[in-house]
Structure 1
Amino acid sequence: MKKVLLTLSIVAAAFTYASAQGLSGGLKAGLNLANFGGDDVEDAEIRPSFHVGGYLNLAFSDALSLQPELLFNSVGTKGSYEDEILGVPVEVEETVKLSYISIPINLVYSFGPVNIHAGPQFGFLLSAKSEYEINGSSDEEDVKEAYKGMDIGVGVGLGAHFGKLNATARYNLGLSSIADDDDADVKSNVIQISLGYRLFGGE
């Protein structure tokens, strides 16, 4: 938590400076291709989902800026395995659905309309559900207690803007295990493809 507060303090200081230099902001949304990784993850598959939220871009110069974002982020994974019910083998399809409020804070370097960016991301867990499908019947279970309340990761990506529109492709790598069991190594990794619209500031 101290690291988060320190990071937010740095962002606030940067915001104060950048307000005099150039401030823009807007909305963004897009596709998540989410999966789990780590030593204790086997046969996990990509779960397509989504993210939506807003961003601020705090310009220090024409080339360098800081971009904090506030996103609703749906991630997780899916997979299948064999089990037995009353001695009868069955195929179980499981989908894990995690919802976070995510705060990426990226340092952005622009050259013309194109940029590269990287930075930390902090996620705060809102809900965790596990959906099971067996022989066409489905059921859902609340599994929030199985996951930590906070996820820490790092993102790196490419972006481009076209007038008020912008597009981003980013990979978010989980750095900390999201499993509440300290002995389990489960990390959340996500490919994000976003479209955004600048509402104010900028060119």
Structure 2
Amino acid sequence: MKKLFVGLAVVVGSMSFAQQFGIKAGANISSISKDGFEDSKSKVGFYGGLFMNAPLSEQFSIQPEVLYSQQGAEVKRTYTALGNTTTIDGKLNLDYITVPVMFQFKATPEFYIEAGPEFGFLVNAKQKGDIKVNGNTVASNTYDAKDNYNSFNMGAALGVGFNVTENFGVNARYVAGFTDINKDGNTSLQNDDNKNRNNTFQVGLNYKF
């Protein structure tokens, strides 16, 4: 029994010693599921934050992260009537604190595959709308829409990464949302009854200390 406890202590100590902390940042290309959002377009945003990488074995590791993530979508509609062209631009900005918990598999010492859940907590939501007639802005409005959206978001992430050096790497990840972003029947930008989910493609850089 004593040997077992000594062995466990050595393993835990080795894992603690092998843990690495780091920072990461990059670009989000986000969209909202097209359930009543058929003419929406992807929106470019930013993500950045901290992570900890803890090896579980020679090939497997777990990497929890805390990120600030800008998501949302854009909508553009154009109408022509009586010789006038009217353009309606709508933008939904959803900012989250996300907590991905990624399980990584090293296919080679440099290349890895990762998958895991992501939990998001809404910190900001703004909607912006502009109406232009023949290129001239006739109306513009921006308002806080946080009360219309669920404060919690959950998704599943799948990605790949490449360690260029021992400390520096690049990674790409796709996060598919599971939960409806709308709260209590409130809807986003244009749809009435449909459920909408966040979908985000991320590409960026990471640095381990």
TM over 0.5: yes
Shift in Å, 1:20: 3.3
Larger Rg: 2
| Residue from 194, 197, 204 that aligns with 1:187 | 197
Shift in Å, 1:82: 5.4
Aligned-pair identity in percent equals 28
| Residue from 143, 164, 177 that aligns with 1:141 | 143
3-state SS in 2 of match to 1:50: strand
Q: How does 1:27-176 map to 2 (within 5 A)?
A: 27-81=23-77, 90-110=86-106, 111-135=108-132, 136=137, 138-163=140-165, 164-176=167-179
Q: Which amino acid aligns with 1:109?
A: F
Summarize deviations over 1:76-118 as a string: whole Å, max 9, x none: 00011358xxxx9832100100000000001000122000000
Let me know the Cα RMSD of the aligned residues: 2.1
- Structure 1 residues 67 and 17: alpha-carbon distance in aligned structure 2, compared to 1, 3 A threshold: farther
TM-score by length of 1: 0.82
TM-score by length of 2: 0.80
Q: Which amino acid aligns with 1:170?
A: R
Summarize deviations over 1:21-63 as a string: whole Å, max 9, x none: 6200110000000000053322110000110101100101121
Q: Which amino acid aligns with 1:165?
A: F
Return 5+ residue gaps in structure 1 as ranges.
1-15
Matched-pair contact (CA < 8 Å) for 1:21–1:61: no
Return 5+ residue gaps in structure 2 as ranges.
1-11, 186-192
3-state SS in 2 of match to 1:40: coil
How many residues get paired? 181
Matched-pair contact (CA < 8 Å) for 2:15–2:54: yes
3-state SS in 2 of match to 1:39: coil
